[in-house]
């Protein structure tokens, strides 16, 4: 079968022939229609992600949309290694296949699943967001962050604060539901002061896609200006700005902060899949918007390293 094949660490996939998967007990064979190029897919393909197996060769792609042998259209998650989602066929556990609602086409469903899941699960299962609470999204200008704003609004957040480096993109977030925006400026004292102003007004949940310096400043500001009578739930989702921070123990002693992660390992696969099913139904009801760029799988070598801007690249099969 044709597939996007990763031959070694830090090597982009090539388009070629790979052995066809044969399902075993508890698995389903999926005729793949679409598979998105997400940061998780890139990171696992490079061998840099903490969940990477380190075994080569394998087919790229952590998920996708396709059809089962009974004709049912499904989203599938974490197909069995070495058979990834970017191929004509994949095999995945039955429990990791979920039906796609009629209101989402194949490309939209493939594009929205991974970035939308990152905040849907963080809000619903980790932070347990309640209607009427205030949310701060650190790193909201990317695909996942833009979806996080829409999801927070859909889940009943009273107020949404968004941060990001791109000032022009930040301005566009108000149309998605952001009530306030904070540019991540170089002057760290000014940034921390802006954060303190938001925490003084009350923030219940932080969804962090960046980590690094901005996360440090957020936690300091929460300790200085936050409401001591309430718990701040700080959910770490991504590390676009670095994998480590300097965290003073005094911060955790001076304010009630619940610091947690959300992702592969911290949330069981069955709950991730259930969350994706909920997300897809909500995407239809809530009209969630995501920019996409569809490309044939045969163009994977060219599109893998090309800058698609704000659009999520989705490879189509057949």
* Res 164 pLDDT > 80: yes
What is the pLDDT, as a whole number, of residue 9? Answer: 83
pLDDT for residue 307 is more than 90: no
Of 21-30, 236-245, 303-312, the least confident: 303-312
Q: Report the pLDDT value the prediction gives residue 212, as an integer from 0 to 100.
A: 96
HSE, CB side, 13 Å, CA atoms: give it for residue 273: 20
Calpha distance 58→82 (Å, rounded)? 4
Q: Measure Cα distances from 13 to 32, 57, 127, 226, 313 in Å.
A: 17, 10, 36, 47, 15
Total structural domains in the chain?
Answer: 2
**Per the confidence metrics, is the pTM higher than 0.75?**
yes
Name the 3-class secondary structure at 183: strand
19-28 pLDDT, tens digit per residue, is 999 999 999 9
* Best CA proximity match to 44, nearest among 60, 21, 64, 56: 60
CATH number, domain of 178, equals 3.40.50.720
Residues 227 and 122 in one domain: yes
Domain for residue 81, yes or no? yes
Does residue 23 sit in the same domain as residue 86? yes
Domain residue limits at 18:
2-99+288-316
- Predicted confidence (pLDDT) at residue 216 exceeds the cutoff of 90: yes
- Residue 51 pLDDT exceeds 80: no
Residues 141 and 30 in one domain: no
Using the predicted structure, report yes or no on whether residue 77 has a pLDDT greater than 90: yes
Q: Which residues pair with 89 in a beta bridge?
A: 31
Do 226 and 252 meet the contact criterion of CB atoms below 8 Å apart? no
d(CA 67, CA 50) in angstroms, rounded, equals 30
Q: For residues 84 and 41, what is the distance between their CA atoms, to the nearest angstrom?
A: 9
Q: Specify if 104 maps to a domain.
A: no
Q: For residue range 124-148, what is the model confidence (pLDDT) as tens digits? A: 999 999 999 999 999 999 999 999 9
236 neighbors 214 (Cβ within 8 angstroms)? no
User: Per-residue pLDDT for 7 more than 90?
Assistant: yes
Does any domain span residue 26? yes
pLDDT at residue 227 in the model: 77
- The pLDDT-based confidence of 46 (bands split at 50, 70, 90) is confident
Q: Mean pLDDT across the chain, nearest whole number?
A: 94
Instruction: Kindly state whether residues 125 and 232 are assigned to the same domain.
Output: yes
Half-sphere exposure of 236 (CA within 13 A, CB side): 20
Task: Note whether 125 and 95 are same-domain residues.
Answer: no
Average the pLDDT over each of 9-13, 224-228, 312-316 and give the range with the smallest value.
224-228
Same domain, 252 and 136: yes
The answer to whether the CB of 65 falls within 8 A of the CB of 75 is: yes
Give dist(CA 69, CA 24) in Å, integer.
Answer: 15
Tell me, yes or no, whether 184 and 124 share the same domain.
Answer: yes
Q: Distance between CA 14 and CA 28 in Å, rounded?
A: 26
Asked whether residue 131 falls in the same domain as residue 241, the answer is yes
Nearest one of 149, 133, 153 to 141, comparing CA atoms? 149
Which is it for strands 134-138 and 159-164: parallel, antiparallel or unpaired? parallel
**Domain-embedded: residue 105:** no
Q: Is the pLDDT of residue 101 over 80?
A: yes
Q: For residue 277, tell me if it sits in a domain.
A: no
């Amino acid at each position: 079968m044709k597939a996007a094949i990763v031959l070694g660490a830090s090597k982009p996939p090539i388009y070629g022939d790979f052995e066809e998967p044969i399902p075993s007990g508890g698995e389903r064979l999926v005729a793949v229609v679409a598979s998105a190029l997400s940061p998780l897919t890139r990171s696992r393909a490079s061998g840099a992600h903490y969940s990477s197996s380190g075994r080569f060769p394998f087919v790229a792609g952590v998920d996708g949309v396709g059809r089962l042998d009974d004709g049912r259209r499904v989203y599938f998650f974490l197909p069995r290694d070495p058979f990834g989602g970017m191929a004509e066929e994949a095999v995945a556990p039955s429990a990791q296949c979920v039906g796609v609602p009629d209101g989402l086409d194949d490309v939209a469903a493939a594009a929205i699943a991974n970035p939308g899941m990152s905040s849907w699960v963080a809000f619903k299962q980790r932070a347990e967001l309640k209607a009427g609470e205030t949310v701060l999204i650190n790193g909201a200008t990317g695909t996942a962050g833009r979806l996080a704003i829409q999801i927070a609004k859909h889940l009943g957040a009273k107020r949404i604060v968004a941060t990001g480096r791109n000032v022009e993109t930040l301005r566009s977030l108000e149309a998605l539901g952001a009530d306030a925006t904070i540019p991540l400026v170089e002057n760290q004292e000014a940034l921390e002061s802006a954060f303190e102003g938001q925490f003084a007004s009350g923030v219940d949940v932080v969804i962090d896609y960046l980590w690094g310096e901005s996360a440090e400043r957020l936690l300091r500001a929460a300790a200085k200006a936050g409401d001591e009578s309430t718990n701040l739930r700080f959910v770490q989702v991504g590390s676009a700005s670095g994998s480590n921070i300097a965290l003073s123990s005094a911060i955790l002693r001076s304010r009630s902060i619940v610091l947690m992660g959300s992702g592969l390992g911290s949330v069981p696969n069955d709950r991730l899949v259930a969350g994706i099913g909920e997300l897809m139904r909500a995407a239809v009801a809530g009209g969630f918007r995501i920019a996409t760029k569809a490309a044939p799988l045969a163009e994977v070598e060219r599109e893998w390293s090309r800058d698609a801007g704000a659009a999520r690249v989705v490879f189509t099969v057949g």
